Each structure stands twice: as C-alpha cells, then as structure tokens.
C-alpha cells in the first residue's frame, strides 16, 4: 500500500510537471517571438491562447506540483534528485506567484503588476524542466543497459 501511494505521488508529480512545463514553454515561445520580431511583448491575436490560458494552467499545476512535491520531499525514500528538482521548481514558482499577487495588492498598484505573473512560473519551470530532463536521461540509460544485458 505504501509503495503504491509513493509511486502514484511520483507519477502525479511527473504528470503535473509535464503539463506545467508545456504551458510555460508556450508562454516563453510567445515572448521570444515577440521580442525577436518587434522588440516588445504586445497582446496580439494569439496572446490569450499562448499566454493567458497557459499561465492559468501553469499556475494551478505549479501549486498542485508544490503540494505533491512537498509530500515527495517529506519521504526520505522518494528524495531522488529529479523529483527534488521538480518539487523545488514548483515551490519556487508558487512562492513567486504569491509574491507577485501580494505585491500587486498594494495601494500604489495599478493592476498592470499582474502582467509579471508568468515570469516566476516560467523561471520555476526551468528547474522543473531540469528535473524532468534528468529523469528522462536516467530512464533512457537504465533502459539501454537492460536491453544490452547490463542490468545493474
């Protein structure tokens, strides 16, 4: 039973991380194309589809990832580097989002401060991406060793 819960938490963290990284990649791609082509990021016809919707999904999945990641970090048996990176990335993104929201509620705030909301999400997801990449590399290496008969 404990092994089943541990595996499902780790699977959930990988699934949540994948969704949040894809959403953050959409935001980063839109920003990169805008900056490369016109030098500023302006709302255009694809802004809602490539930035607003993915930002909402990325924020929700980052918060979920932070909660699941805390559970993974608490158990010493699941504290492997890829999962630690994913958990830390989600925690960083979630803390950054909360900081932007709190900062935008001050008296001098104009509401435009919320445009910074995708920034901590994208930055936190870079750490999550590193965890996913490390997990993928380890999985491929393990799989290639088993195929060649060099099981460890």
Per-domain boundaries in the chain: 2-147
Cβ–Cβ under 8 Å, residues 16 and 64: yes
What integer pLDDT is reported at residue 18 of this predicted model? 95
Distance CA 104, CA 110 (A): 8
What integer pLDDT is reported at residue 145 of this predicted model? 60
pTM of the predicted structure, to 2 decimals = 0.82
Distance CA 66, CA 8 (A): 15
Is the confidence at residue 94, as pLDDT, over 90?
A: yes
What integer pLDDT is reported at residue 141 of this predicted model? 74
57-81 pLDDT per residue, tens: 999 999 999 999 998 888 877 678 9
Instruction: Find the mean pLDDT for residues 1-17.
Output: 75
Count other Cβ atoms within 10 Å, centred on residue 29: 13
What integer pLDDT is reported at residue 147 of this predicted model? 54
Distance CA 60, CA 65 (A): 8
Q: How confident is the model at residue 54 (pLDDT cuts 50, 70, 90)?
A: very high
What integer pLDDT is reported at residue 43 of this predicted model? 83
Is the confidence at residue 45, as pLDDT, over 90?
A: no
């Amino acid at each position: 039973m404990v092994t089943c819960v541990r595996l499902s938490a780790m699977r959930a963290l990988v699934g949540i991380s994948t969704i949040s990284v894809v959403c953050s990649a959409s935001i980063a791609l839109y920003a990169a194309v805008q900056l490369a082509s016109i030098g500023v990021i302006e709302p255009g016809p694809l802004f809602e589809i490539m930035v607003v919707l993915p930002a909402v999904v990325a924020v929700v999945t980052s918060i979920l990832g932070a909660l699941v990641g805390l559970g993974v970090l608490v158990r010493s048996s699941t504290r492997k580097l890829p999962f630690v990176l994913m958990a830390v990335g989600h925690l960083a993104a979630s803390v950054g989002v909360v900081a932007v929201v709190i900062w935008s509620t001050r008296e001098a705030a104009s509401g435009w401060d919320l445009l910074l909301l995708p920034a901590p999400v994208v930055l936190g997801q870079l750490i999550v991406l590193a965890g996913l990449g490390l997990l993928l590399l380890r999985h491929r290496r393990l799989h290639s060793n088993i195929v060649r008969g060099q099981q460890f």
